[in-house]
């Protein structure tokens, strides 16, 4: 399992990376592995407001659906439309396949660094 | 919680990196590292193998075995001849299903009945109510006799290596045979739960099943878990007890004839005589059922899941009983299979019988109404060796 050190992680398994004040958000390697084959991603629209700790969309694997929880509050600047046709990118490249970019960030969930997140995943088993 | 049961292949699954889950009291592989999508596709193009040793295997023998089975099963057991198998349903007294099952006649003087793993104990208790009236016995041999399903276009070629070139079974679905494969006695049926035009189920003594599994893998078959087993059967339009059969989501018994497959599983022939719920089932057949199970395909983007409500013109008409996104291979215009794949969102719905093929349905997918349409079938099984997606 891969936990890049340049990212912050939520306990609900999303990652965040800041680029010039914009929060780039995806799901972790642990999350994609637990989900199994991702077959559909329900994305928000550009301009939607997202709230830290609340759902901004969902990912469907063959087995089940899981909410995507926003690690930050703000406004959706961009969504990764490639995921509409190639949701499996979340499995193949979870840290390259970002899901949304959020601007005007006003709030942030309690986020973990890579080491703390890895420990959190180990606890979940 | 009681301890989970394990098949003789448990350690083989774990060693292969399978994700193990509780399935009806059994610790079974839901998927291997390849994943459900890859396993599904490999089965459709090559060959998938499935550990089905958890399913209940019951031997019915004794002088009145035929009379007993005619009473408790829906099919005409007397029509079965040695070397053949038949699909059947175990009816409740009220016209629903205790379980669905497959009856195999490998030998003249006994039957093998295979039932759903999670229903085995319930089925045995149900049979016990009728057995005192018949001079025969039902013996559970699940633990001593194991089973592997070998499905897909390359299944027959792989098995022919093991049989030394000998014919595996006759050409018809439900044909049976007994073979010696590299010194091991193996019983084979031309049956399966994937809808693949070519597929077999193998039976072997429990202490030899690991050998068989490993040989099949060596010959190019891919271990396939319960996840892909479910997507394959869904694509093939095969009902699953607990979803399309049994009790509905409110705990109300679903009539057997709500499932179209019942037409092939229930016999009213004079030869069969009276059986459990015969008159109720005849009425279901002749008058129809209030609701029916139909295959549906999602037209909008998204995924339907079991339990989601379905509307027609804003009126609630039923709900989804099974649903997910399944992968498929594309074919060229000449009918050749390609490497290109697609995905589609399909399922089964339990809806008012007034719903027709022309209707547009709306499925409530977590608050969003997505359009869906009834379809005749999800897959064409008539052009071997491949099952072809009907889009």
- Residue the block writes with tokens 């869904």: B234
B21 reaches A (C-beta below 8 A): no
Please state which CATH class domain B290-389 belongs to.
Answer: mainly beta
What is the dihedral angle through the alpha carbons of B112, B113, B119, B124, rounded to the nearest 10 degrees?
A: -80
The Cα–Cα gap between B134 and B132 comes to 6
Angle at B326 between CA B172 and CA B353, to 5 degrees: 75
> B325 and A58 in contact by Cβ < 8 A?
no
The Cα–Cα gap between A48 and B74 comes to 56
* E strand or H helix that includes residue A74: strand A72-79
Structure tokens at B96: 């629903």
CA-nearest residue to A39 within chain B is B325
Q: How many CB atoms lie within 10 A of CB B130?
A: 13
The Cα–Cα gap between B130 and B118 comes to 21
B231 reaches A (C-beta below 8 A): yes
**pLDDT at residue A61 greater than cutoff 70:** yes
B91 reaches A (C-beta below 8 A): no
Structure tokens at B305: 């899941």
* Chain segment B73-113, per-residue pLDDT in tens: 999 999 999 999 999 999 999 999 999 999 999 999 999 99
> A62 and B343 in contact by Cβ < 8 A?
no
For residue A91, which residues of chain B lie inside 8 Å, CB to CB?
Answer: 35
* Chain segment B137-159, per-residue pLDDT in tens: 999 999 999 999 999 999 999 99
B227 reaches A (C-beta below 8 A): yes
Nearest CB neighbour to B305, from listed A37, A65, A88 = A65
Nearest CB neighbour to A37, from listed B37, B303, B366 = B37
B224 reaches A (C-beta below 8 A): no
Mind telling me how many Å the CA of A35 is from chain B's nearest CA?
10
Alpha helix (H) residue ranges in chain B: 10-15, 36-45, 65-72, 120-130, 155-162, 209-218, 226-236, 262-265, 278-287
Best interface-test mutation with B: which of A37, A83, A91, A92 has the largest number of B CBs within 10 A?
A: A37
- B339 contact partners, CB below 8 Å, separation of at least 6: none
> Which ipTM was obtained for this model?
0.85
For residue B30, which residues of chain A lie inside 8 Å, CB to CB?
Answer: 63
Interface A–B counts its CB contacts (< 8 A) at: 42
Encode chain B (391 residues) as per-residue pLDDT tens digits: 568 999 999 999 999 999 999 998 999 999 999 999 999 999 999 999 999 999 999 999 999 999 999 999 999 999 999 999 999 999 999 999 999 999 999 999 999 999 999 999 999 999 999 999 999 999 999 999 999 999 999 999 999 999 999 999 999 999 999 999 999 999 999 999 999 999 999 999 999 999 999 999 999 999 999 999 999 999 999 999 999 999 999 999 999 999 999 989 999 999 999 999 999 999 999 999 999 999 999 999 999 999 999 999 999 999 999 999 999 999 999 999 999 999 999 999 999 999 999 999 999 999 999 999 999 999 999 999 999 999 9
B20 reaches A (C-beta below 8 A): no
In chain B, where are the structural domains located? Answer: 10-54+144-223, 56-138, 290-389
* Chain segment B13-53, per-residue pLDDT in tens: 999 999 999 998 999 999 999 999 999 999 999 999 999 99
User: Which B residues 116-155 touch A at CB under 8 Å?
Assistant: none
Mean pLDDT across A65-94: 96
Do B10-54+144-223 and B56-138 show the same overall fold? no
For residue A55, which residues of chain B lie inside 8 Å, CB to CB?
Answer: none
3-state SS track over B57-117:
EEEEECCCHHHHHHHHCCCCHHHCCCCEEEEEEEECCCCCEEEEEEEEEEECCEEEEEECH
The Cα–Cα gap between A4 and A2 comes to 6
> B36 and A88 in contact by Cβ < 8 A?
no
The Cα–Cα gap between B225 and B38 comes to 11
CATH superfamily of B56-138: Aminomethyltransferase beta-barrel domains (3.30.70.1400)
In chain A, where are the structural domains located? Answer: 8-124
The Cα–Cα gap between B226 and B345 comes to 19
Contact indicator for B307, B272 with CB cutoff of 8 Å: no
pLDDT more than 90, % of chain A: 95
Q: Is B287 exposed, middle or buried (0-12, 13-18, 19+ CB in 10 A)?
A: exposed
Measure CA B355 to chain center. Answer: 26
> B343 and A39 in contact by Cβ < 8 A?
yes
B325 reaches A (C-beta below 8 A): yes
Considering the entire predicted model, what is its pTM?
Answer: 0.94
The Cα–Cα gap between B47 and B362 comes to 36
CA-nearest residue to A42 within chain B is B302
B35 reaches A (C-beta below 8 A): yes
CATH topology of domain B10-54+144-223: Gyrase A; domain 2 (3.30.1360)
Structure tokens at B353: 């019988």
**pLDDT at residue A125 greater than cutoff 90:** no
CATH 2.40.50.100 fits A8-124, yes or no: yes
């Amino acid at each position: 399992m891969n936990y890049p050190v340049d990212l912050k992680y939520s306990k609900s398994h999303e990652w965040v990376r800041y680029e010039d004040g914009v929060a780039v958000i995806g799901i972790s390697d642990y999350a994609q592995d637990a989900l199994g084959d991702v077959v559909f991603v329900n994305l928000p629209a550009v301009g939607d407001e997202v709230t830290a700790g609340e759902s901004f969309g969902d990912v469907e694997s063959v087995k089940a659906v899981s909410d995507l929880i926003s690690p930050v509050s703000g406004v959706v600047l961009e969504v990764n439309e490639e995921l509409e046709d190639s949701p499996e990118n979340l499995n193949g490249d979870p840290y390259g396949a970002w899901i949304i970019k959020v601007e005007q960030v006003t709030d942030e969930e309690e986020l973990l660094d890579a080491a703390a997140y890895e420990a959190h995943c180990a606890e979940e088993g | 919680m009681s301890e989970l049961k394990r098949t003789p292949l448990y350690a083989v699954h774990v060693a292969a990196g399978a994700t193990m889950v509780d399935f009806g009291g059994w610790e079974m592989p839901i998927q291997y590292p390849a994943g459900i999508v890859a396993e599904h596709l490999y089965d459709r193009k090559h060959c998938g193998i499935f550990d089905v040793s958890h399913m209940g295997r019951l031997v019915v023998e004794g002088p009145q075995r035929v009379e007993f089975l005619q009473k408790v099963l829906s099919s005409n057991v007397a029509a079965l001849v040695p070397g053949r198998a038949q699909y059947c349903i175990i009816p409740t007294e009220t016209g629903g299903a205790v379980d669905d099952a497959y009856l195999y006649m490998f030998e003249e003087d006994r039957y093998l009945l295979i039932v759903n793993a999670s229903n085995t104990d319930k089925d045995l208790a149900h049979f016990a109510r009728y057995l005192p009236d018949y001079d025969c016995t039902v013996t559970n041999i699940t633990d001593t006799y194991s089973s592997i399903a070998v499905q897909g276009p390359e299944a027959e070629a792989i098995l022919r290596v093991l049989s030394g070139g000998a014919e595996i079974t006759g050409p018809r679905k439900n044909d049976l045979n007994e073979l010696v494969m590299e010194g091991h006695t193996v019983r084979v049926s031309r049956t399966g739960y994937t809808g693949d035009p070519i597929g077999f189920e193998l039976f072997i003594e429990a202490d030899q099943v690991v050998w068989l599994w490993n040989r099949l893998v060596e010959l190019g078959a891919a271990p396939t878990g319960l996840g892909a087993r479910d997507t394959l059967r869904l694509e093939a339009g095969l009902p699953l007890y607990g979803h399309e059969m049994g009790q509905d989501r409110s705990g109300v018994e679903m009539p057997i004839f709500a499932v179209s497959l019942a037409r092939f599983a229930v016999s009213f022939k004079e030869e069969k005589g009276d059986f459990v719920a015969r008159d109720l089932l005849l009425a279901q057949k002749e008058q129809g059922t209030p609701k029916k199970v139909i295959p549906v395909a999602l037209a909008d983007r998204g995924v339907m899941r079991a339990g989601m409500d379905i509307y027609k013109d804003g009126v609630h008409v039923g709900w989804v009983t099974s649903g997910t996104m399944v992968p498929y291979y594309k074919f060229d215009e000449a009918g050749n299979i390609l490497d290109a794949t697609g995905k589609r969102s399909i399922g089964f719905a339990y809806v008012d019988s007034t719903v027709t093929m022309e209707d547009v349905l709306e499925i409530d997918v977590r608050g969003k109404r997505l359009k869906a349409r009834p379809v005749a079938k999800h897959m064409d099984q008539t052009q071997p060796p491949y099952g072809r997606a009907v889009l």
